[in-house]
Amino acid sequence: EEEAPQVPRRQPPSSRHPRPVAAQPQEEEGDLGWQGFSMEEARTHADKLQQGKMSRTPGEVLAELQRGNARFWMNAANRPETSAFERRGLISKQFPSVAMLGCSDSRVPTEIVFDQ
């Protein structure tokens, strides 16, 4: 007589994949749940950046774009991701130095092509 092959029994879902347990947030002394930056702090940060951005010559701006494009083509881009703090500062102030006319194809946005 031939024995039937042993088929492994299925385990209940709870034992196969343990559920993650959320850690309880720990409040530091004096922390009342406030995290992040105020609009005033973001504006101050933007004001500090304004002088450097506004004092560049057209030649300096073009050279910066060319260097960024070279980094992109050499696969050596180092474009830092903008922090939430920096994005918040852009709400009230922006200092564009270039106007770009480009394709509406969102697969290649100009900020990536010029590593900005």
**Residue 91 placed within a domain:** yes
**Residue 13 placed within a domain:** no
**Residue 7 placed within a domain:** no
Write b or e for each residue in 2-29: b if 16 or more Cβ atoms lie within 10 A of its Cβ, otherwise e: eeeeeeeeeeeeeeeeeeeeeeeeeeee
**Residue 44 placed within a domain:** yes
**Residue 84 placed within a domain:** yes
**Residue 1 placed within a domain:** no
Mean pLDDT for 95-114 is 78
Number of domains in the chain: 1
**Residue 60 placed within a domain:** yes
Q: What is the pLDDT of residue 80?
A: 67
**Residue 52 placed within a domain:** yes
CB atoms within 10 A of CB 100: 11
Domain of 55? 37-113
Q: How far apart are CA 114 and CA 63, in angstroms?
A: 11
The 3-class SS string of 51-72 reads: HHHHCCCHHHHHHHHHHHHHHH
Is 41 a residue whose pLDDT tops 70?
Answer: yes
Mean pLDDT for 97-114 is 78
Entry pTM:
0.47
Q: Per-residue pLDDT tens for 49-102?
A: 777 777 889 899 899 999 988 988 888 888 766 677 777 777 777 777 788 777
